[in-house]
Amino acid sequence: MKIVRTSPRWPAPSQSGMSRRMPGRDREDAGAARDHTLMLRAISGVLRNAQCGELPVFAWTLGLPQQALLEMVERCFPELGALEGLSDMQYASLKAAQPPYFQALVALLMTRRTAGVDEHVATWLAHAIAAACHGERHLWEDLDLGGRDDVSRLLERYFHPLYLANSRNLRWKRFLFAELGAVLGRTDCLPPGCHRCDQHRVCFPESKAQGVSVHDGIDQEEH
């Protein structure tokens, strides 16, 4: 199902649109500009991965209302021009496919966003990260980033309190679901698809025993 009659070709990380700064931020320093480019890359990466089937179909909406999604595209990727939306019924059917913990994961990110960060940007990025967390590959892959360090940089810049909370260096996807489980008082908040990953026993060595402790740390490459 398509969000637009002619599907947009989401900008690749190397395209000029990815380095465009938001209105009113033309004086930001080089570090902030890099973070902004990384944010755009993550959002477009999720949309692109949803479009090509690497993420569940709901990720095509980022879990946003359709008007909010179109406004995000207009602001972040103006080179795409005006996009034609789906009917309300079609869009609702996509959003209805959201996984059970998706909105709670967005809320977790938003309640721990960096003070003073643009709330719209944080909202868009929180939705993109939460959508990518429901993929079956490494988190950085479903965000279309270069590796774990890029995920860390994004979280440090836009969700700093959450970034600091990962003091045991858990893999980010695992950490986010562990934090979500702690908030919800549940022990079954585990990253979807991880049991099928060839690195599952690296992330969850304790799963060979009875049960899985989602709070055990491990200093390995990112999921």
What's the total number of domains in the chain?
1
**Averaged over 207-217, what is the pLDDT?**
38
Domain presence at residue 213: no
Cα gap 47→186, rounded to integer Å: 30
Residue 122 counted as domain residue: yes
* pLDDT for res 11: 60
Residue 9 lies in a domain: no
pLDDT tens sequence across 67-115: 999 999 999 998 888 788 889 999 999 989 999 999 999 999 999 999 9
Residue 195 burial (CB count, 10 A): 13
pTM (2 decimals)?
0.80
Contact 158, 110 (CB under 8 A): no
Q: Residue 1 falls within a domain, yes or no?
A: no
Return the ∠ at Cα 96 (arms to 91 and 99), rounded to 5°.
130
The verdict on residue 219 lying in a domain is: no
Whether 104 maps to a domain, the answer reads: yes
> What does the pLDDT look like over 60-77, one tens digit per residue?
999 999 999 999 999 999
pLDDT at 219 over 50: no
Residue 100: give the domain boundaries: 16-208
The answer to whether residues 200 and 190 touch, using CB atoms and an 8 Å cutoff, is no
Within-domain flag for 49: yes
Q: Does residue 8 form part of some domain?
A: no
Assess whether pLDDT exceeds 90 at residue 167. yes
Specify the pLDDT at position 209: 37
| pLDDT at 166 > cutoff 90 | yes
